[in-house]
Structure 1
Amino acid sequence: MKGKKLVMVGDHRQLPPMLDTKTLEEVSQEIGSTNTELQLLQESLFKIHFETANDSIKKMLNIQYRMHPIIMGAINQFYHGKLECGILKPDTERAHNLAGKIIKESHHIIWVKTPIEKKFLEEQERNGTSYFNTQEIDAIVRLCKQFETTWASKVANGKPKKEIAVITFYGDQLRKIDERLQSELFPSLQITTGTVDRFQGMERPVVIVSMVRNNSRGDVGFAKKPERVNVAFSRAQNY
């Protein structure tokens, strides 16, 4: 309060403050409140100040050093295409070394599309407010098994375990993912799981994003919030 200058640092294109371990939408559904009632928490104070501040006192830092430029390309839309990659040799410094049946050495993003058929659709527990998708979890397990197969020989030769994050938009999906990704099944991997909201501010070399929603209505659920999509797709460094 007595300082002569205040410097605020943040990212107004990412998520606002969290409420406990749940998304604001989940809390709103549980207590029966509308988004209007939670509007004060929907946008961060930093975003309000940054967007209303005079150009003379604000600056965007547009050179990123986290991710391969191909991954950066997936989120650059949220920054009006202004992001630049500061990694001098990204193909070397951000190599994932997980090439196999599906993953190619030159790939740094892969989209796995599931069909809009009954067994691939999202589900809800009885009287539940969250969603899960069993077929999507099966796909995640298969990917992790391929990562394990590829990386096992490297661990045997002294390399550390490959760090992987599996993040999702829904709490029910996270619980079911945790049940399936038992550490003893993947001795060569260091797997961290979490919701997208909880993973804001964190990063891992390899990230699998579980979208969960799959329906004929085209309803993407929590992924409709651009800030959440930005966070989800910007956690990965290599793949």
Structure 2
Amino acid sequence: MPKTSAVPETKLSFIKESLFKVLFENANDSIKKMLTTQYRMHPQIMGAINQFYQQKLNCGIQEADTKRAHNLAGRIIQENNHILWVKTPIGQGFEEEKQGTSRLNVKEIDAIESLCEQMEIAWRPKVADGEPPKEIGIITFYAAQLNAIKDRIEGERFPALSIRTGTVDIFQGMERPVIIVSTVCNNVRGDIGFAKEPERVNVAFSRAQELLIVVGCHDLFTQQTGTVGKMYQEVSKTVRHCGGFVDVSSVLN
């Protein structure tokens, strides 16, 4: 299978300005209505993306803790965790690398691999009892990172997991019980690249039903200026409220 190439500018434009958004904004007010009840995700995950819907979303899932239970509790992931942020430091060996016009972060892949190993251990008994493999989505903003994840996270190593990888545009319209988002950017320039676009962040963070795990440099993203910084600070506030911060050292050890 050929490697995924860089995302064409036409696709990036679609993520930034979808056809639905264009049609909605140009429609007559008399036929517009925002649907405010969602049935996809656990309320903890909804808390991180509600900012994109003027805080008007509410969860229509009855007994969400049961119906959106991930059953992946282990050393890092706890039963009551439905949103986690695995925090990496700025620099200290966690810097991004350039690969052509794309970006790569090997340390984040190390952390994702470790998380998959733990989820494999947690879900394996379920498969032995007749449950299907757990569906996991791994999303990133960069093609170079995607290719490196595909090379490392091989399906045969995780028979209890059904892993699908992709860039944000590939996952638009999809959902998975578990989503891991690799943010990639880690630099002293304060540059977060594609991850500063609210539409892309909303797509990435809203695919998960039971468990959302963000892997990346918390300080770099939350210290952005203006609306971008506020966007990640809102996510951070939700993660903190839910007790979901995890230091990367505990994942890699």
> 1:209-220, aligned counterparts within 5 Å?
209-220=181-192
SS of corresponding position for 1:198: helix
> TM (normalized to structure 1)?
0.81
CA–CA distance in structure 2, aligned partners of residues 97 and 210 of structure 1: 22
CA–CA distance in structure 1, aligned partners of residues 166 and 60 of structure 2: 28
> 1:84-163, aligned counterparts within 5 Å?
84-125=58-99, 128-163=100-135
Q: Are the structure 2 counterparts of residues 149 and 76 from structure 1 closer, same or farther at C-alpha, using a change threshold of 3 Å?
A: same
Higher-helix-fraction structure:
2
Residues 194-213 of structure 1: CA deviation (Å, up to 9, x unaligned): 11111000010001001001
Which has the larger Rg? Answer: 1
**Are residue 48 (structure 1) and residue 22 (structure 2) matched?**
yes
Of 149, 171, 174 in structure 2, the residue corresponding to residue 177 of structure 1 is 149
Task: State whether residues 16 and 200 of structure 2, in contact with CA within 8 Å, keep that contact through their aligned partners in structure 1.
Answer: no
SS of corresponding position for 2:164: strand
Q: Which runs of 5+ in 2 are unaligned?
A: 212-253
Kindly provide the amino acid, as one letter, of the partner of residue 24 in structure 2.
Answer: F
> TM (normalized to structure 2)?
0.77
Q: Are the structure 2 counterparts of residues 26 and 118 from structure 1 closer, same or farther at C-alpha, using a change threshold of 3 Å?
A: farther
SS of corresponding position for 1:148: helix
Tell me by how many angstroms 1:161 deviates. 0.8
Kindly provide the amino acid, as one letter, of the partner of residue 84 in structure 2.
Answer: I
Q: Which residue of 2 aligns with 1:81?
A: 55
Residues 32-53 of structure 1: CA deviation (Å, up to 9, x unaligned): xxxxxx7x98523432332243
Tell me by how many angstroms 1:89 deviates. 1.0
Pairwise CA RMSD: 2.1
CA–CA distance in structure 2, aligned partners of residues 106 and 45 of structure 1: 37
Q: Are the structure 2 counterparts of residues 129 and 137 from structure 1 closer, same or farther at C-alpha, using a change threshold of 3 Å?
A: same
Q: Which runs of 5+ in 1 are unaligned?
A: 1-19, 29-37
- Report the count of equivalent residues: 208
